[in-house]
Structure 1
Amino acid sequence: MRFWVAIVGFFLLTAADLLPQHGALAAQGNRVALVIGNSKYVYAPALPNPASDARLMADVLRKVGFNVIEGVDLDYAEMRDRLNKFTEASYDADTALIYYAGHGMQVNGKNYLIPVDAELTAPAHLKTRTVQMDELLAALPPDPAVGIVILDACRDNPLARTLAASLPKSRSTTAPGLAPIDVSGSDVGTGGVLIAFATDPGAVSYDGGGANSPYTTSLARHIAEPGVELQSALTRVRGEVTAETNGKQRPWHNASLGREVFIGAQTAQPPAPVQPAAQPSATAAPAESASTDGRGWEIEQRVWDEASKRNTLAHYEAYLQQFPNGAFADLARLNIDQLKKQPATVVANVQSETSRSATAVQPPAAAPKPETDAGTELTESAIGLDHQGKVDLQERLLAIGYDLDADGDLGLKTRRAIGQWQEANGLPTTTFLTPKQYARLKLDTDDALTTYRAKQASEAQATRQESVAPQRPQKPQPVVRARPRRQDQREAANPRPAPKPKATARKSGFKYCTGIDGTFQIPASQRCPLSGYAHY
């Protein structure tokens, strides 16, 4: 009897464990993914990673409940077929994701994905032999669904160079990598769109030495982590890939989402155990402060981005001092160990040891307090902005949506924009910056500034190429051929006789007059007589 009771109890416990998982899958809704990896190109060298990258991503997405439409080494017709199937399958989906690895290119600020059979030797081939990025965006379901496009297609592309040679230089321009895509201006309800590239717009990504590219390896590791929101996962990917490539490749994403998106299971954090009031924990202070501050996670992301960009011991140690248990703490310690192995000067070693000892002795720093110092003309002058620094400040404000002119003159529009930024961030609205406010503004606008400058450069280059007037073809000049030397010798030996002068008629000393007796002559110096008679 006890045996059967134990068996029934085991099944009840198993069913209880499965119920939350079923609820989590139901909450995720209908999710569809299109995964394509093109490696074996007919008119370009084969790529080592895209096919295996696509298989890895398809496996990861299937495990978290996606209906995956997969394709490897697709020609033009096959890519069209998979895209049509995805459009139909994702029409009523809650989440639709497109992942593409292979060759891509940008022309005049627009992005194109290249099938394996594409031979691009004429401008018209862009329309007839490639798949435009706009078509991928059009295939995504409308709001309230969430659309995600991830492209590992920023490789060095020989097909782009072949096409560039055939394009008219006065109206078309190509550039490396992919062009930035701005989705911030689109209307967003509860859904939205997210675009992710393997590296910054206009840059080239790397395949790496393994079976998968550095970007897809890190993406597969983090995108489906339980409890990790999609944009947080992409931030972790950015940090890992930047560290692995020594800053040569920095993944990029741009999003306009109306809610948090979880690719993996959305697991709730367990409640923290109640601590006795008499025994507060010193190590819990940073986590408590971060949880009470809504910007805690965003600040950590910005600090980590700055540390990974600088790639110095001081920046990594500053990150660990502020976030000892942060999401990138292990990676920061690994980078510190690698930097310590490199040769350094004695001064650097002394400073490093000092900072390490200070970090070991001092308790973890609490979350930074809100800025309370009011900016004045004096505090802003202490920043030491030259003309280029002022232009940089204005471009940062422009990149996050404020209306002003980037002319290096901090006039009325710039002051108004600074005041609006201060007000939006809970700072004293004085329209003048303090050094701390300026550092915070730079951290908040690094990604937006990269996107803004890449877009401005692309538009300026396209405008400059279109403004160049086509040169009129010059008429060919007549070719003057040299006389043969033999002909000159023959004419010298047998000169032609000089032409005879024409005989000129001698002038007569008389002229004719008509009179009564008929015609008669008179001297040319005289006039004909009026009487009509010859009188000489």
Structure 2
Amino acid sequence: MVTFMTAIGRLLTAFGFLFATFAATSAWAERKLALVVGNGAYVHATPLANPVNDAQAMATKLETLGFETYTGLDLDKIGMERLLRDFTRAAKDSDVNIFFYAGHGMSVDGTNYLVPIDAVFEDETALDFEAVSVDFVTRQMSFSNAVNLVFLDACRDNPLSDKLSRSMGATRSTAVQNGLAEMKINNAGKGMAIAFATSPGDVALDGDGLNSPFTTALLKHIDAENTDIAEVFSRVTGDVYNNTDQSQRPWLNVSLTGPVMLNPVTELKAVARAPQTSSNVGGGAAAPGGNMLEEQKMLFDLARETDSVDDYQAYLDSFPNGLYANNARRSIRRLAPKTVRRQRLCPHAHQRRVR
């Protein structure tokens, strides 16, 4: 016969296990997608050194945060539209979507455009055929009921905008700006936030290091634990402003329905042990303690840190029915097709960039 205290202890243990399971599931069950584009090898303009580095670093960072990434490097107009279409189709069923762009951008008549590497801009009629409107991107993202975040490191000094301005004549040339213009937020889904590398109408720096000042700061802060995206961007703004001698101030336009944390961390509290009672009739064993949970968490945390199929499989080999088993299986499914996806989605990068 099991004592009353032992029964209570087992009940508390079961409740603690269910709470831990719920906490872990709520923290990691979201489906998160990211579209990351870096254009630097411009054919008809001075190439940019850092956008490809920026995009590669951002894709890696977002993957460690559990994002499934669609990455494009040095894309022409067709390549950008094809990648965007693949991404937005998948994003309809996600919970959080991110679009990150590094490269040339400009504003014409208050509309913002991203510039593929093959753009020529002989005259203003070429704009719709050779550039990608940011409004078009955000409209596609808004078809999802997700949280949509847009990061535009796209205000770099752009000789193509000068060429377009000259072709438009004196009366219309002022409509063209190197910097991007303020944008209206599309309020579909759970809302949207658009982060610009610099203030409206200003030109952002490409940077002398491996990454631009804006991307450097974003990489540093975007994975801050349990931190709302507004606070993340406040830190990014401070870093960029200070590191550019106060010449560049990022800008955020936000309309979200609640807090958004890209790296929510839920610490699993120790599960209560049932008190051991030597007088239990029939030798009723005490409920299992937290040691096994701690071992599971340690092994799964290692797999999350390396984000390796082998390490996730090692967890499953040890704990096939463990607390994190479903998360490990999802991570393996996410990682397995990644190499194939990158080869399919980045044809221009492989063709144009030889390392």
Alignment of 1:3-402 (within 5 A): 19=21, 21-26=24-29, 29-142=30-143, 144-171=145-172, 173-183=175-185, 187=187, 191-267=190-266
Whether contact under 8 Å (1:188, 1:258) holds in the other structure is no
Whether contact under 8 Å (2:91, 2:144) holds in the other structure is no
Whether contact under 8 Å (2:41, 2:48) holds in the other structure is yes
Which deviates the most, 98-107 or 261-270? 261-270
Whether contact under 8 Å (1:90, 1:141) holds in the other structure is no
Change (3 A) 1:121 1:91: same
Deviation at 1:198, TM superposition (A): 0.5
Deviation at 1:215, TM superposition (A): 0.8
Change (3 A) 1:240 1:169: same
Whether contact under 8 Å (1:224, 1:265) holds in the other structure is no
Whether contact under 8 Å (1:53, 1:101) holds in the other structure is yes
Q: Deviations over 1:145-186 (max 9, x none)?
A: 211111000111001001101014434511231001132xx5
Instruction: Give the Cα–Cα distance (whole angstroms) in 2 for the partners of residues 61 and 137 of structure 1.
Output: 19
Instruction: Give the Cα–Cα distance (whole angstroms) in 1 for the partners of residues 49 and 32 of structure 2.
Output: 29
Instruction: Give the Cα–Cα distance (whole angstroms) in 1 for the partners of residues 268 and 164 of structure 2.
Output: 52
Normalised by the size of structure 1, how large is the TM-score?
0.45
Instruction: Give the Cα–Cα distance (whole angstroms) in 1 for the partners of residues 144 and 259 of structure 2.
Output: 14
Q: Deviations over 1:323-372 (max 9, x none)?
A: xxxxxxxxxxxxxxxxxxxxxxxxxxxxxxxxxxxxxxxxxxxxxxxxxx
Q: Looking at CA atoms only, which structure, 1 or 2, has the larger radius of gyration?
A: 1
Change (3 A) 1:123 1:269: farther
User: What amino acid does structure 1 have at the position aligned with 2:86?
Assistant: K
Instruction: Give the Cα–Cα distance (whole angstroms) in 1 for the partners of residues 79 and 188 of structure 2.
Output: 32
Q: Deviations over 1:201-245 (max 9, x none)?
A: 111111222111111011011112111111100000000110111
Deviation at 1:143, TM superposition (A): 6.4
Deviation at 1:22, TM superposition (A): 4.6
Instruction: Give the Cα–Cα distance (whole angstroms) in 2 for the partners of residues 269 and 249 of structure 1.
Output: 41
Instruction: Give the Cα–Cα distance (whole angstroms) in 2 for the partners of residues 262 and 160 of structure 1.
Output: 36
Whether contact under 8 Å (1:36, 1:70) holds in the other structure is yes
Identity %: 41
User: What amino acid does structure 2 have at the position aligned with 1:150?
Assistant: F
Whether contact under 8 Å (2:196, 2:252) holds in the other structure is yes
Aligned to 1:124, what secondary structure does the other structure show? helix
Whether contact under 8 Å (1:92, 1:141) holds in the other structure is no
Instruction: Give the Cα–Cα distance (whole angstroms) in 1 for the partners of residues 72 and 40 of structure 2.
Output: 11
Aligned to 1:70, what secondary structure does the other structure show? strand
Aligned to 2:137, what secondary structure does the other structure show? helix
Change (3 A) 1:76 1:188: closer
Whether contact under 8 Å (1:39, 1:102) holds in the other structure is yes
Ranges of 4+ aligned residues in structure 1 off by more than 3 Å: 18-23, 141-144, 168-172, 186-189, 266-270
For structure 2, the residue ranges without an aligned partner over 5 or more in a row are 1-16, 270-355
User: What amino acid does structure 2 have at the position aligned with 1:212?
Assistant: N
Instruction: Give the Cα–Cα distance (whole angstroms) in 2 for the partners of residues 224 and 137 of structure 1.
Output: 23
Deviation at 1:95, TM superposition (A): 1.1
Instruction: Give the Cα–Cα distance (whole angstroms) in 2 for the partners of residues 246 and 40 of structure 1.
Output: 28
Instruction: Give the Cα–Cα distance (whole angstroms) in 2 for the partners of residues 114 and 236 of structure 1.
Output: 28
Match of 1:6 in 2: none
Q: How many positions carry a matched residue from both structures?
A: 251
Deviation at 1:265, TM superposition (A): 2.0
User: What amino acid does structure 2 have at the position aligned with 1:181?
Assistant: M
User: What amino acid does structure 2 have at the position aligned with 1:44?
Assistant: A
Aligned to 1:261, what secondary structure does the other structure show? coil
Match of 2:11 in 1: none
Higher relative contact order (CA 8 A, sep 6+): 2
Deviation at 1:112, TM superposition (A): 0.5
Match of 1:496 in 2: none
Deviation at 1:133, TM superposition (A): 1.0
Match of 1:305 in 2: none
Aligned to 1:260, what secondary structure does the other structure show? coil
Whether contact under 8 Å (1:228, 1:266) holds in the other structure is no
User: What amino acid does structure 2 have at the position aligned with 1:135?
Assistant: F
For structure 1, the residue ranges without an aligned partner over 5 or more in a row are 1-14, 271-536
Whether contact under 8 Å (1:197, 1:252) holds in the other structure is yes
Whether contact under 8 Å (1:188, 1:256) holds in the other structure is no
Aligned to 1:43, what secondary structure does the other structure show? coil
Instruction: Give the Cα–Cα distance (whole angstroms) in 1 for the partners of residues 187 and 77 of structure 2.
Output: 32
User: What amino acid does structure 1 have at the position aligned with 2:248?
Assistant: Q
Q: Deviations over 1:120-143 (max 9, x none)?
A: 111111010110111111111446
